[in-house]
Chain A
């Protein structure tokens, strides 16, 4: 399903990052994708089920949760973090600022794929020369 991807801060992400980027709380707080309950029903996704969110720059697996901020049909929210940054575009259109909000993305079920931990994610996506 085609969605508009919004990223931003949440209080839990703020608390998690202060506990440490390797902490359980940080992982829990930033590997979620807040979706509209009606959109989830449409895709047949249940709470905490893994989903794959893809843009033209790649894809990443996150956990879907029902947004308590609904209704916002067609828009999904992911807290800032290494997971969602992976699918962002580096183009800044001469401003120095990439677009982190209002990004066109595609959401699909991914029940068999795991949500990676931070070291696994770095190992999989970044190579040190």
Chain B
């Protein structure tokens, strides 16, 4: 048995790089340090995987050879007038680079999953800029951590433990013990209440613990955490304070906080269901911290206002920087979605939704973004790499995606691969293939190869390169004939 340490986990944007894997006979038998999602991937990745290339014949997906699948894909892409190349956030930067070359060669639109994730954040950052830092800085120095519209306990399970309040920083203590004390106090209270209910004191006020104002822990100097969300998430349970806002009203709360920070009056009693006094206290806490950070999630980008929510969040941080040090960072979902934005930008100048149909890169989200193109029914073929748009795009977009020739490169069967015309089984990047990925704070980390892939599973880079060569050959032949 071999033990491989310092493995980077290819699941979420936190990109934890301290995973230890025990490998026996080309199989991962034990995982240490990973979260529930990471462990689930390391131990079960082989369960529903694809092992042979597939091609659709008479309405059914049948096994074929890699050569045949490459030929068919190259034909589809070379013949297409306005193809879509989508996915890219769960593969390596090296594969994305080949994908961009392919998009330019066939004059297609290349887009990554940030288009339905943090696309609005990218648009806002382009509009107003943002002050940010690496997660190491947050770990060692941040004394106020705000998670706004994001639920790291479920989506980035080790984010809190590795980078924010539960980590022991050089200048900031972990609040783990405080949380444990809080938890045991909560349990005793529950026990007491249950005893009261069963005893003769039935009329005792069971819910007397109505909270007035902000909890005292928020006013201490040490590290503290605030969660702002529309429902009490698991992350909210471990925060010092949970601020509940009404759905689709984050914009109002952000603007109210900006108003209060500028020392202006608000004429109403409540904003989005939050009393103005609470917001005043919150604004004070934000202004009086030493190093604050706002991590925002899809609660801001996916609800009403979209990029305008991010605009105000960034502007709030800019206002706060007049008083103290404050930074803001999007909670990126897939492990290399940041890498996709980075590689796109250095190759084409734009981070996502890049249209090569005129021979040069063009970028206009809303027009050149994949969901819009599909909803309008403009594309005539698609190549999907390591993504599942049939499962995650709105109905009309997914319907139009399925209607046209569809090529999928994915290690596993997904809703998209089940509807595809050509399916390539690929090696899992970070498990069976090497590569580079970018963490959510734009730090590049190497992904390791820890086991060998099945014989017919090539790496994404290899498959894309073969398709690209195939397309070039077809175009050369066509040019010669002409």
Contacts and interface: CB of A to CB of B under 8 A. Distances in A.
Interface string B414-444: 1100110000000000000000000000000
Interface core residue of B49, B120, B231, B304 (most chain A CB under 10 Å)? B231
A20 B413 contact: yes
A96 B365 contact: yes
Interface in B21-68: 36-37, 40-41, 44-45, 47-49, 56, 59
Interface in A76-128: 77, 80-82, 85-102, 118-119, 122, 125-128
A126 B399 contact: yes
Contacts of A75: 230-231, 247
A25 B225 CA distance: 32
Nearest to B308: A95
Nearest to B367: A94
A18 B231 contact: no
B122 to A, nearest CB: 10
A18 B45 contact: yes
B147 to A, nearest CB: 13
B381 interface: no
Contact of B402 (A10, A57, A81, A127): A127
A14 B299 contact: no
A82 B394 CA distance: 9
Given A80-B392, A86-B395, A19 B47 contact: yes
Given A20-B412, A77-B231, A80-B392, A92 B154 contact: no
B398 interface: yes
A contact patch SS: loop
A2 interface: no
Contacts of B233: 69
Contacts of B352: 96
A87 to B, nearest CB: 7
A125 B418 CA distance: 13
B274 to A, nearest CB: 15
A93 to B, nearest CB: 7
A53 interface: no
Interface of B: 11-12, 36-37, 40-41, 44-45, 47-49, 56, 59, 115-116, 119-120, 123, 151, 153-155, 157, 230-234, 247-248, 298-299, 301-304, 306-307, 333, 352-353, 365-366, 369-372, 374-375, 388, 390-399, 402-404, 412-415, 418-419
Given A85-B394, A118-B418, 20 more contacts: A7-B302, A14-B36, A23-B44, A57-B394, A58-B395, A72-B232, A81-B392, A90-B395, A92-B369, A93-B366, A95-B120, A96-B366, A96-B370, A97-B119, A97-B120, A97-B302, A99-B304, A100-B298, A118-B415, A126-B398
